[in-house]
Amino acid sequence: MFESLSQRLSSTVQRLRGRGRLTEDNIREALREVRVALLEADVALPVVQALVERIKVRAIGQEVLKSLTPGQALIKVVRDELTKLMGSAADELNLNVPAPAVILMAGLQGAGKTTTVGKLAKLLKERRKKKVMVVSCDVYRPAAIKQLETLAQQVDVLFFPSSTGQAPVDIAKAAVSEARKQFVDVLLVDTAGRLAIDPAMMDEIKKLHAGLDPVETLFVVDSMTGQDAATTARAFADALPLTGVVLTKTDGDARGGAALSVRYVTGRPIKFIGTAEKMDGLDVFHPDRVASRILDMGDVLSLVEEVERKVDKDKAAKLAEKVVKGKKFDLNDMHDQLEQMLNMGGLTTLLDKLPGIGAIPEKLKSQVNDKEIHRSIAIIRSMTKKERRHPTLLNGSRRARIARGSGTSPADVNKLMKQYQQMEKMMSKMSGGGLKGMMRGMKG
């Protein structure tokens, strides 16, 4: 998300970064560029005006001009104001009510509502250790009910069945009493979406809201629709007491106009963003981290959290132990490491969160892909157990066999072996005295 906005904004502010002196003229010119960048990112006009005005007031004041490092101070002001625009701190779900906490999901058809219900169920179950049930009140599309059932199975949460002959309010109420019986912590209610907001849809969702009294009412909207996302959310917020917005498909949105407009236009926080089609593609929305990302200061915090969550700690501990004890790093270890990288979303996802990445040309970035990792894993899997443990066995004919088995070329196998040798060398340098010495050094 934000690639193009980030490129423009960060180059504008970075240009001022190193300056020892800034004048009002420099700042005004930079702000003009900021304004154009925001408009091109499809941020709603009133939002652009408000944001640029707030930055201007602070930038032309004492804070920046009198600062010893005015460029840095300006970047800080832009970062602060971007953060504030999106809501300052992350807004968590409110689940502090007698169980079951009901979460009502609304949105237009195709926005990603049902997918988000599945993702949210998974997140609540795995990260917040909640017992979750889902139900669909989309009585117009049997396929939607079926889709939710499939997702519920996939993420392994309870599914309350419903059918097209029933009234949405009746389905929802029956689900609540079943959830209560089964000691469910959170009930997620999926609703029908239409192609555009219409009175019948509004009426139905209002009735559902009144009948359920949900603790959270989330509006799901496609970020690729830019500032329209904010306008649609606004129409819903006018009719229903929304507690938050979920922005989907941010992985396909290079501009970021929706993320920057929603809070200002609707007065409601963005609580989550959808970052991929798959079920773990949902992140808590952290305005401060997103602002840093837009200014290309990286999102190292999210990266660290992701690594903590996704790394297989047992395997990592085993490898560390091996290294410390000076045991040989073999191709099984390399295989595990490559798999861990894929688990973390692959190189492309990791890269996206590192500082300074915006400065790397798009063309170069697109060359970094995960094909290579997949290829390396396939090669190692075509080896016998013995070969993986004793890589020195791999002579020419064995390598040719492995290339055939993995659908690669002998050159690919040779390349992998070279990478392995480099890793092995690095590991053996760290092992024994090296790493222990390093650890002693850290403790001392």
Nearer to ligand GDP, 110 or 407 (CB): 110
Nearer to ligand GDP, 83 or 136 (CB): 136
How far apart are the two ends of the chain, measured CA to CA in Å?
A: 43
Cα 319 to chain centroid, rounded: 28
Is the separation of the CB atoms in 39 and 391 below 8 Å? no
Residue 114 known to bind ligand = yes
The answer to whether 107 contacts ligand GDP (rule: CB under 6 A) is yes
Nearer to ligand GDP, 100 or 274 (CB): 274
Give the residue from 44, 31, 46, 33 showing the smallest Cα distance to 77. 31
Is the separation of the CB atoms in 245 and 269 below 8 Å? yes
Total count of residues recorded for the chain: 444
Residue 108 known to bind ligand = yes
Residue 190 known to bind ligand = yes
From 27, 82, 106, 111, residue interacting with ligand GDP (rule: CB under 6 A): 111
> Taking CB positions, which residue lies at the least distance from ligand GDP?
274
* Rounded least distance, CB 318 to ligand GDP, Å: 34
The answer to whether 113 contacts ligand GDP (rule: CB under 6 A) is yes
Q: How far is the C-alpha of 125 from the C-alpha of 148, rounded, in Å?
A: 16
Strands 132-136 and 158-160 come out as parallel
Give the residue from 384, 406, 410, 385 showing the smallest Cα distance to 396. 410
Nearer to ligand GDP, 6 or 191 (CB): 191
Q: 3-state secondary structure string, 78-122?
A: HHHHHHHHHCCCCCCCCCCCCCCEEEEEEECCCCCHHHHHHHHHH
- Dig out the tokens for 267 from the structure: 């007065």
- DSSP, collapsed to helix, strand or coil, labels residue 43 as coil
Give the residue from 244, 189, 197 showing the smallest Cα distance to 213. 189
Nearer to ligand GDP, 110 or 161 (CB): 110
The answer to whether 104 contacts ligand GDP (rule: CB under 6 A) is no
Nearer to ligand GDP, 70 or 107 (CB): 107
* Rounded least distance, CB 131 to ligand GDP, Å: 23
The answer to whether 252 contacts ligand GDP (rule: CB under 6 A) is yes
The answer to whether 277 contacts ligand GDP (rule: CB under 6 A) is yes
Stretch that binds ligand GDP, among 20-28, 105-113, 153-161, 228-236 (CB under 6 A): 105-113
The answer to whether 214 contacts ligand GDP (rule: CB under 6 A) is no
104 DSSP β-pair partners = 189, 217
Cα 140 to chain centroid, rounded: 31
The answer to whether 279 contacts ligand GDP (rule: CB under 6 A) is no
Residue 112 known to bind ligand = yes
The answer to whether 253 contacts ligand GDP (rule: CB under 6 A) is no
* Rounded least distance, CB 250 to ligand GDP, Å: 6
The answer to whether 109 contacts ligand GDP (rule: CB under 6 A) is yes
* Rounded least distance, CB 49 to ligand GDP, Å: 30
* Rounded least distance, CB 93 to ligand GDP, Å: 18
Give the CA diameter of the chain. 73
- Dig out the tokens for 57 from the structure: 């007031």
Residue 111 known to bind ligand = yes
The answer, yes or no, to whether the previous bond of 100 is cis (omega within 30 of 0) is: yes
CA angle 420–421–424, rounded 5-degree value:
85
From 10, 12, 114, 292, residue interacting with ligand GDP (rule: CB under 6 A): 114
Is the separation of the CB atoms in 245 and 262 below 8 Å? yes
Give the residue from 1, 10, 4 showing the smallest Cα distance to 297. 10
Task: Count the alpha carbons within 13 Å of 252 in the hemisphere toward its beta carbon.
Answer: 12
From 70, 112, 244, 358, residue interacting with ligand GDP (rule: CB under 6 A): 112
Nearer to ligand GDP, 213 or 277 (CB): 277
The answer to whether 269 contacts ligand GDP (rule: CB under 6 A) is no
The answer to whether 414 contacts ligand GDP (rule: CB under 6 A) is no
The answer to whether 225 contacts ligand GDP (rule: CB under 6 A) is no
The answer to whether 326 contacts ligand GDP (rule: CB under 6 A) is no
Residue 408 known to bind ligand = no
**Binding site feature residues for GTP:** 107-114, 190-194, 248-251
Interface residue list for ligand GDP (CB under 6 A): 107, 109-115, 193, 248-249, 251-252, 274-277, 281
**Binding site feature residues:** 107-114, 190-194, 248-251
